[in-house]
Chains A and B, each alone.
Chain A
């Protein structure tokens, strides 16, 4: 069979089967438009107007593409909405990324860690270094694994204790008995690697000094009648809650009961104490805070230190909250129709949030509070590719545990059947491909950005030099775990 015949049969197999459809009855057929002379004039006028608008839009689009092909100071987008409502479409320029200092340069931060599970039910945590050597294998029988934000520690949180291990070689560092014991709802790590904080199911926040081993615990207020739309049964404790450190690693914020009434609390973290500095509850004492209609909330304190950004996975809304007053600044509807799919991806400089839904991509510009897109994928490196995306695996139903952005914040990596595509921030133009013959799932970027690790569709791990070169195949079948969202 020739290639043409094979393609012919394949296409027939893919699109040859007509779908089963029901149609409205004949009586429901809309009436044919009756054209009066007046209507004809109106139609002519409308056609002219549409033609002029289309011509203008075409010019805008053309300009847009040209600018994206060779961005200099900014990438022009054709139009945008701001503040959640349609506007007069001001021209918006996406900001160029602000290169971030690369701080995670320790050897431990370059080791990729994966959680694996065998068919016999046993599980392991496996560390692989940039040479493709397996540097650690640890039995994983209980708890949930996390990685500290500086990349140096692996932390396993179990119901009655917390254990830390070196990310360099898996050697055990310390064990912390937990008091109170029980479930943990969410975990966050300070950017400097010193603090680990978590919210317990029994409504408290606990902070551990990973240097000294000291722990500090304080109760968290939670509304026993908090709304938890989408959940059934008896809800006890702050089921919907999350926490996030500021970049200075000295301030911690908790968000509880976001289904309503949302409670936002600020703490300061010092070696000698965990102190609550302010709290606000939506609707109480005039506090104005947004509401998220379902599970899933990803948060980030912006580099200015005074603004909290959050993405409500359920609604697809982006919130901007002033941390000085604990008050909502904006609640923008992004129109993300499947927000659980690989969203959000915050850029390290805090300027943009990429939101992917299926093969379409939107970008939220924090400065202008604009939602741009949707746009589609580029096909080749010669494509202009605004907000473009190469659809890899469908990952519905969760917030991506890793953020495949280079540590300096200038490139975003995407994996799929064409290896790893390297996309330029902010326009996501395809600027290169690494190991294009590989069929890949998920990518993790080493702390210094020099090594990419990717899980393959054939249950193996590939270690790919970011500068290019042959990939190293490692027989490890697992998923990455990291804490970039923390």
Chain B
């Protein structure tokens, strides 16, 4: 019989009760949305990805060996999902316009736009490393473990990503000195 892991988690019944999902959600959902928002530049997408992160986590919680490390584990899932989405988005950016948009946006916030465009101009791996490190305080070693790469690779991603990000940010008219 198929089980609804969400209900199981909420009710504390069955295999999924090993982790306190409601508490984890309360503790990390907003932080994850913030992370994913910065990474994707899209708030709606960030909320979707956060939900996907928890859903995937609930389904595969047996993979978490140390419950105390739930936060980096959730970030790992979120990063994997976000990078997948970013890569797909960059591919389909050239797919034809569907012809359904009609809305008119207001004047853009130049600073936000500069950050978003700069983030979008670097590789998804570099972007993830930058946001994890600078916005969420993960060390290089923690990021290395989180993304399954060597610390040297993460160091390189941070250095290259930082340079590329700043160059793009300045080109886009960012104002932060």
Report yes or no: A26 in contact with B162, Cβ–Cβ below 8 A.
Answer: no
B68 within 8 A of A: no
List chain A residues, Cβ under 8 A from B47: 23-24
A467 within 8 A of B: no
- Among B95, B107, B115, the residue within 8 A (CB) of A396 is B107
A183 within 8 A of B: no
**Complex formed: what's the CA distance from A386 to B93 in Å?**
12
A15 to chain B, nearest CB (A): 5
List chain B residues, Cβ under 8 A from A373: 94, 97
| A334-348 vs B, Cβ < 8 Å mask (1 yes, 0 no) | 110111110000000
Interface residues of B, count at CB 8 A? 74
Report yes or no: B98 in contact with A86, Cβ–Cβ below 8 A.
Answer: yes
B13 to chain A, nearest CB (A): 15
**Complex formed: what's the CA distance from A394 to B94 in Å?**
23
B69 within 8 A of A: no
Instruction: Assess A337 versus B134: contact at CB under 8 Å? Given A29-B51, A57-B91.
Output: no
B78 within 8 A of A: no
Report yes or no: A89 in contact with B96, Cβ–Cβ below 8 A.
Answer: yes
- Among B7, B58, B92, B135, the residue within 8 A (CB) of A18 is B135
**Complex formed: what's the CA distance from A418 to B170 in Å?**
10
- Among B30, B97, B163, the residue within 8 A (CB) of A334 is B97
B52 to chain A, nearest CB (A): 8
List chain A residues, Cβ under 8 A from B50: 23
B110 within 8 A of A: yes
Report yes or no: B101 in contact with A337, Cβ–Cβ below 8 A.
Answer: yes
Report yes or no: A394 in contact with B104, Cβ–Cβ below 8 A.
Answer: no
Least CB separation from A333: chain B residue? B99
A19 within 8 A of B: yes
Report yes or no: B117 in contact with A10, Cβ–Cβ below 8 A.
Answer: no
Task: In the complex, identify which listed stretch (A77-85, A162-170, A215-223, A233-241) lies at the interface while the others stay far away.
Answer: A77-85
B85 within 8 A of A: no
A49 to chain B, nearest CB (A): 15
List chain A residues, Cβ under 8 A from B5: 31-32
A11-B130, A391-B117 given. 13 additional CB < 8 A pairs? A11-B134, A11-B165, A14-B169, A18-B136, A23-B47, A24-B51, A64-B94, A81-B99, A315-B102, A333-B99, A335-B100, A371-B99, A375-B93
Can you list the 6 inter-chain pairs with the closest CB atoms, starting with the nearest? Answer: A396-B107, A335-B101, A18-B34, A34-B2, A23-B29, A79-B96
Q: What residues make up the interface of B, taking CB atoms closer than 8 Å to A?
A: 2-7, 10, 21-22, 25-26, 29-31, 33-35, 37-38, 43, 46-47, 50-52, 54-56, 58-59, 91-108, 110, 113, 115, 117, 119-121, 130-131, 134-136, 159, 162-163, 165-166, 168-174, 176-177
Q: What residues make up the interface of A, taking CB atoms closer than 8 Å to B?
A: 4, 7-8, 10-19, 21-24, 26-27, 29-34, 36, 54, 57-58, 61, 64, 78-81, 84-87, 89, 294, 314-316, 333-335, 337-341, 358-359, 362, 371-377, 379, 386, 390-394, 396-397, 416-418
Query: Could you list some 7 contacts between A and B, CB below 8 A?
Result: A10-B176, A15-B165, A21-B33, A29-B55, A36-B2, A61-B94, A333-B99
